[in-house]
């Protein structure tokens, strides 16, 4: 069997699997990086004011949602995989996964930076913490739009 014959026979499930990997991997890398950025900022605060741990944890959790979006997309794609799916179906699922993976990656890191700045607000003026949360949540909008776009793309074509 040549590579092209293999690709035609099995490419659908291979590309679908790549879609799972891209959605989960890139959004997960972004979330882990963003959470790490906030964790570093929060650790500095907790040394001086350990009673602010719970409030700082809210900031740290925010960049983790992009990884969750990627995980959900991966689960949805897995539910649509079959060994007899066409190459076109697999490539379509792969393409649909890209916004969640790439936007999740970038937005989670950006959200981590915004949330780390929110830790500074918490450290200096605890009453204004909500404003820091709002700044960080605004970045989330783009990850959410990418997730919604996946849902639209994945359901736009019936195979």
Tell me what the mean pLDDT of segment 74-95 comes to: 94
Length of the chain: 159
Residues 7-46 have pLDDT tens digits of 777 889 999 999 999 999 999 999 999 999 999 999 999 9
pLDDT-above-70 percentage for the chain: 99
Q: Which CATH number is 110's domain given? A: 1.20.120.610
Q: How far apart are the C-alpha atoms of 43 and 107, rounded to whole Å?
A: 22
Q: What is the pTM of this model?
A: 0.91
4 within a domain of the structure (yes/no): no
3 pLDDT above the threshold of 90: no
50 within a domain of the structure (yes/no): yes
58 within a domain of the structure (yes/no): yes
112 within a domain of the structure (yes/no): yes
Comparing 5 with 54, which gets the higher pLDDT?
A: 54
Residue 8 pLDDT: 77
Contact 90, 14 (CB under 8 A): yes
Look at residues 5, 11, 115 and name the one whose alpha carbon lies nearest to residue 59: 115
Domain count, the chain: 1
1 within a domain of the structure (yes/no): no
18 within a domain of the structure (yes/no): yes
131 within a domain of the structure (yes/no): yes
Residue 68 pLDDT: 97
3 within a domain of the structure (yes/no): no
124 pLDDT above the threshold of 90: yes
pLDDT band at residue 159 using 50, 70 and 90 as cut-offs:
low
Contact 102, 66 (CB under 8 A): no
Question: Which domain range does residue 18 map to?
Answer: 9-156
């Amino acid at each position: 069997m040549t590579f092209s014959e293999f690709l035609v026979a099995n490419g659908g499930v291979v590309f679908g699997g790549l879609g799972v990997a891209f959605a989960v991997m890139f959004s997960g890398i972004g979330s882990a990086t963003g959470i790490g950025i906030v964790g570093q900022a929060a650790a500095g605060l907790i040394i001086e004011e350990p009673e602010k741990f719970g409030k700082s944890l809210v900031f740290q959790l925010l960049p983790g949602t992009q990884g969750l979006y990627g995980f959900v997309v991966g689960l949805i794609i897995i539910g649509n995989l079959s060994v007899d799916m066409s190459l076109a179906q697999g490539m379509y699922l792969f393409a649909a996964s890209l916004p969640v993976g790439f936007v999740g990656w970038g937005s989670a890191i950006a959200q981590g930076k915004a949330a780390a700045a929110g830790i500074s607000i918490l450290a200096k003026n605890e009453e204004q913490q909500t404003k820091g949360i709002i700044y960080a949540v605004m970045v989330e909008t783009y990850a959410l739009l990418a997730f919604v776009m996946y849902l639209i793309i994945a359901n736009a074509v019936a195979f």
